[in-house]
Every structure is written in C-alpha cells, then in structure tokens.
Structure 1
Amino acid sequence: MASEIYATAPLKIQDWAPEDRPREKLLQKGAATLTDAELLAVLIGSGTRNTSVVVLAQHILKTNGNSLQELAKRSVQELQRFRGIGTAKAIAIVCAMELTRRRTDEPCRKKELVNSSSKAYKLLQPDLTDKSIEEFWILLLNRANYLIKKIQLSSGGTSRTIVDAKFLFRLVLDHQAVSIILAHNHPSGNTTPSTADIALTNSLDKAGKLLDIAVLDHIIFTDRNYFSFSDEGLL
C-alpha cells in the first residue's frame, strides 16, 4: 500500500504549473481570465516566506468582504497592516484603485465625424492657431470618415515645410486608416496655395491611390480662414 503524501508547507508560485501562475495565465489567456485575487496578486508581486502572493491577495480581499469597492476605500496605512504589504505595495494598490475610479468617471470621448473642410479646419484650430512657422499635419480617418488620429508630420521655416511621403503613408497603414486629409498652415495669412503646395498634393494623391488610400482634402490653414483643395475642385 502506497504511503500518503502530506503537504509540509504552502506551495510557492514557482512550484505551481505554469498555466496556473497568474502572470503566465494572463499572458496566455488574457487578463479577463484571472480572478480578483489573481489580479491583485500580480499587482502585489510577491508574498511572504510562508504565504504565496495569491493567498495573501485572497486574505486581503476576504478581510474587505471580497469587495473591490471596499478595498478601494483602504488607505496606504490600512493596507500596510497586512503582513507582506509594505509601503510600495500599498501605494501600488491604492493607485490601481484610483485609476479604476477615474476610468469609471471619465466621459466617453465622442468620435469626430470629418465630412467637410470646415470640420477639418475646426479640428486643427487648437494645433495650428498662432503658429509662426509652417507645420504639416494629417488627419487619419476610418471608412466612415470618423477621425482616428491627427498627427503632426513636420515643422519648418516661415514659408515651407518638408514632408516625407514614405513616413506619411507608413503612419496611415500602421493606424489602419483608409483615407486622410492633409493640412499645413501659412503663417503669412495668405491662403493661396503655392506651386509647391499643388505639386505636393498631386504627388501624395497619386501615391495614395497606389495604396488604395484616399487623399480627401488638403487644407491650407490660417488663423482667420482656410483654403480647401477639395472645395476648389483640385482633388
């Protein structure tokens, strides 16, 4: 008859099967598969000599009624009363709870529909108003013309800025945009496009068509008004 095996000490995390370890489980299956105790254990990082970090996390949660809302009320000093929780770990828990609170309070950001030159101009006003040098920006749009992101590509002198087409379209592809709006400012206040502006627009439009990326417009921005290549039938 085989002799029975008794556990002489709590298993350490490194003694667990890899798929049962919280960090490995997160990497393999995603954060949503972890229990509250496992998530807290990852946050804490380590337990004590006689207590694994997961057991420590379970103890902390149990003491707070297994409620994250109750845990969020605990101060750094209160958390430090748990054996194995020092100042750094307590601060990490408090900060995580505060981030969760702020995320809940944060209003959902409304996606901007960019379906006209005036919408594009308005979006660029915070970025290009009162600039003394030229800057070149792009608005990245999805298939429904909602803004994905606006990005400054370059800045230059008072009369021109350089645009790297390869870098521009790499950004477009990286963000999975299907169309773009080009934009740059004229510090002089003159909205008339230069010969270089027209040549650049045509060049980028041709390059975009090869990649199946639509160049919808090119806005020449000034503080008072703007010029739209699309509105003027140049795109």
Structure 2
Amino acid sequence: MKGDKERSLHEEAWAQVYPLTDRQFSALGLQVLEALALQAGDSVLDVGCGTGQSLLQLAERVGPTGLVIGVDVSGAFLDIAKKRTRSFQHINLIEADAQTVALPPGSFDAVFSRLGIMAFEDPAAAFANFQKMLKPSGKLGFCCWRSLQDNELDLLPLEASGMLSRADQTPFSFSDAAYIRQILKGAGFQDIAIIPHDEPVSCGGVEETIAVLLKVGALGKIVREDPNLGPQVEPLLRQVLIERCDGEIVRLNASVFVVTASI
C-alpha cells in the first residue's frame, strides 16, 4: 500500500508541473535524438514516454510514414500524452512495464529513452528485452543521470535545504559508465558509446523553479513524503535560487550520460 501511495503522489506531482519539466529536460532528450540520427519512416519505441513531449519530438523526425510507440507504467502520464498526441496517427501508446512488455521481435529501428531507464528492478532483463525488439540494424539510445554530486539540479536544492542525507539514490543508479557498459554487453549490444554531457537547464524563473523542485526530483520526493517540510525548506530554497537567478531565468547544471549502442 505504501508503494501505491508513493507512486500516486509521484504521478500527481509530475502531472502538475509537466509543462515546466518539459522545458527543463527537452534539451537532454534532443542530445539522444541527434545521436540516434533517425530517418523518415523509422519505427521507434519510447521507453518511459511519460507525458509525451519526447513522443512528439520522435514523431517529427520519423514523419507520417514512421511509427512511434510510447510505453509507460503510469496511466496518469499516458492520459496526458494521449491528449497531446491525438492528432498524430503514427503515435501509439501502451500502458505497461517496459522491462517486461511483450512486443514482436525485430520490430523497431530504434529504442529511445529520456531519463526513463534508471528504476528497473532488473536492468539486465530490461535491456535484453529491448535488444530482442530491435531490427538487425537497430540502435539503442538513452540518457541517464550521472552522479548526484555531478548534478547541480538536484544537489543544490538538497544542500540548500539541509536534506542531502535523505536523498534517494535510485535515479542515479546508472551513474557508473562501467556498469552501463556491463549491462549493455550482457544484453547483446555492441558499439557502445557513453558520452558525458552537461547542460544548464531551466524551467523558468525563481517561482517556476521552486514549483518544480518542491514537487519532483530528489528534494521533491522528500517533500512529497513529508509535506510538513515544504514550509521549512521553501525559504531556504528561494534564497539560493534568487542568488543564482540570471535576469529572470534560473539555470542549474544537469549532468547525464548520452548512451548509444547497436546489435
């Protein structure tokens, strides 16, 4: 029951701020799209497609002759994605766990994910599943967080609020490049490239950034689980963000690996 409640709170929080997180994370996904070099007519699986921004970006690249299938475990996220993509006949959505979803072997030219692969219970099984879905010439591309210490986007609010010791490390489970390579090689991938990428990201000014950081990300998870902390940490967060504000924009560094591989 506790897990169901946490998941519900997580989904509700992301649904409330997804236009802001889209703004924040779009550039990270675009790095992966550039690396994949998709062509018109390609078929692509979007793992952890969330509320749908990446689906739209993929659909633009593969065009109406292509196919984009988004899979996500959250029905709430897919409800939003469905509304955003309903005018695109070549986008289909599946509510399922991408780790175990059963799709025909050799179906896709590419498997893509923007920050959607770090919480699998069995990463080896998940990537073996993706490998089976790819065509012989297919490619895998995703981005994942590097370490918490590398990611100002989460580290700064945690330090400002005194909550660093309570941070959940799950989102940073792919922060070791050697571990990524081991998982992908074990799943049958080759030509593995793991490129560090740093991007100053923004969802807007101080108010928008506070709204996001108190709902999602490392600090947001802590506040969701203990709402009484919100009034306590908000002024501390506001102070440090005001100091970091450049004009009307707050930019915080996001550190990821951009990973590609083939079969």
TM-score by length of 1: 0.26
Q: RCO greater where, 1 or 2, for CA within 8 Å and sep 6 or more?
A: 2
Query: Whose Rg is larger?
Result: 1
Where is the helix percentage greater, Structure 1 or Structure 2?
2
